[in-house]
Amino acid sequence: MKQFFSVSIPKKLFVLAILLRILVMPFFFHPDIKTFNFQSSFLRSGVINIYDYLVSHKEELPLKEEFVYFPLTYYFLGGYQIIMSPLLGDNFSAWLSNANGSAIEQIGVFRYLFILKFPYLLLDLLVMFTLGNLVVGEENKKKISLLWLFNPFTIVLIYVFGNIDIIPVFLTALSLLFASKGRLKLSSLFLCVAAGFKVYPLLFIPFLMFRAKDFKTVLQIILTSVIFLVAVIVPVASTSFFSSAFASGLTTRIINSGLSIGFGEMVIFPVVLLSGLFFFALSDKRGIELEKYFFSALIIIFSLIHFHIQWLLWISPFACLILSKNTKYSAYLLPLSVLAFSVPFLYQDKYMSFSLFTPISNIYNLIPTPFSIIQRFYDPYQIQSVFHSAFAGGSLLFAWKLLKEELV
């Protein structure tokens, strides 16, 4: 355990990394953090099935959104709020319930944002330790720790956008660590725990199954996954749960991008490529590193569907691992990361750009979005599409190169 937490970089750099994060935490705001914390606050009142509760109380609630995450997110955030309630103070509930724009101007907003993002800091550091344990040798540990701690992309994704993705990201990194030690059942269990927060880690389960040496292990992985997911879902299983948690985000978008082939049928692009990747992994006799498969599966999805910016965090630990083992890949990963960020930056959503600064002053809410600025001269959707297409082209080529190099 002590070895797991060994810091392989100079202590001062570790302190600097924490300092940077603490500097960012209270001063940036994306409304999602308020919405899902408002929804999770009902755990305190004893609500177990948040999906049913939100649907049945929609009329009287100030924020009408459905809870789109999987149940563990609700219990984790709700539980954390209960523990931190003495520090959050008496006005916190009123702040969460405030549905108009003035909430961000209230005194105490810095405290709320800092406390709500504090678990992210711990998980962020845990990801660094986990990644450090995935490589061999002090020099490689140092390299990957620096890559994870000092890249602006993850700092922005975790602390500026403030979504909960760092939780499943840590759990998938941990799963990779156990898989690298040959403990596939434990690895699949961590993927399922991660899927209890966000569903995407389930995509990685087939890669673990293909690594199993016998059918018994495959069966155990399947059983572990099914039993765990059923245990998570059963307490909240209802129409509201399925319509809220499944009808939004990744699960529907992944099957929407395709080409009609007539008679109501469609060739679904992400499924085509993911299926190809799974068959490739099935026939892999060389044991290509799992992170390359995890990375490729996610990059296929981001290339072919409209994605949320915070989803890019899912891929970050795998990208850091790949980069730490072969620095020449930075020639691909850096421009691809910039392109990936530029796509959501152009969404018609003010909280993708300048409005993130609203805790500092509400004047930043009054600046037109990049989308509106571009709209005066050109069609922003076309620019967005060009960026996304360039990202897709580069990403798919990079994924192919990653896997192919192993075959040569």
Which positions lie near other proteins, rule CB under 8 A? Answer: 12-13, 15-16, 18-20, 22-24, 26-27, 100-102, 107-111, 114, 146-147, 150-152, 155-156, 160, 354, 357, 360-364, 366-368
CB of 295 to other proteins, least distance (A): 19
Output 138 or 406, the one with its CB closest to other proteins: 138
* Rounded least distance, CB 212 to other proteins, Å: 37
Compute the distance between CA of residue 127 and CA of residue 125 in angstroms, rounded to an integer: 5
| Nearer of residues 239 and 361 to other proteins, judged by Cβ | 361
Burial class (CB in 10 A: 0-12, 13-18, 19+), 360: middle
Minimum distance from CB of 102 to other proteins (Å)?
Answer: 6
**CB closer to other proteins out of 146 and 319:** 146
Q: Min. distance of Cβ 143 from other proteins in angstroms? A: 10
Rounded to the nearest 5 percent, the helix, strand and coil shares of the chain are 75, 0, 25
Closest CB 173 distance from other proteins, rounded Å: 20
- Cα–Cα distance between 298 and 308 in angstroms, integer? 13
Q: How far apart are CA 318 and CA 147, in angstroms?
A: 11
Please report, in angstroms and rounded to a whole number, the separation of the first and last CA atoms in the chain. Answer: 38
d(CA 184, CA 287): 14
Q: Which residues contact 313 (CB under 8 A, 6 or more apart)?
A: 154, 157, 158, 163, 165, 166, 169
Please tell me whether residue 152 adopts helix, strand or coil conformation. helix
Structure tokens at 328: 């020449």
**Least distance from other proteins to the Cβ atom of residue 201, Å:** 27
DSSP codes, 248-262: STHHHHTTT-EEEEE
Closer to other proteins at the Cβ: 70 or 120?
Answer: 120
Two tokens, residue 258: 């395709």
Token pair recorded at residue 384: 């967005």
Residue 338 CB, nearest approach to other proteins (Å)? 12
Residue with smaller CB distance to other proteins, 180 or 248: 248
Between residues 224 and 324, which has the closer beta carbon with respect to other proteins?
324
- Report d(CA 115, CA 190) in Å as an integer: 26
Task: Tell me the three state secondary structure of residue 266.
Answer: strand
**In the complex with other proteins, which residue's Cβ is closer, 160 or 208?**
160
Identify which of 160, 118, 125 has the alpha carbon closest to the alpha carbon of residue 341: 160
For residue 221, the minimal CB distance to other proteins (Å) is 37
Cβ burial 303-324 (10 Å sphere, 16+ → b, else e)? bbbebbbbbbbbbbbbbbbbbb
For the range 107-111, what are the long-range contacts, defined as Cβ-Cβ under 8 Å and sequence gap of 24 or more?
A: 109/26, 109/29, 109/359, 110/26, 110/27, 110/359, 111/26, 111/87
Nearer to other proteins, 284 or 349 (CB): 349
Closest approach of other proteins to the CB of residue 42, in Å: 21
Residue 84 or 202: which CB sits closer to other proteins? Answer: 84
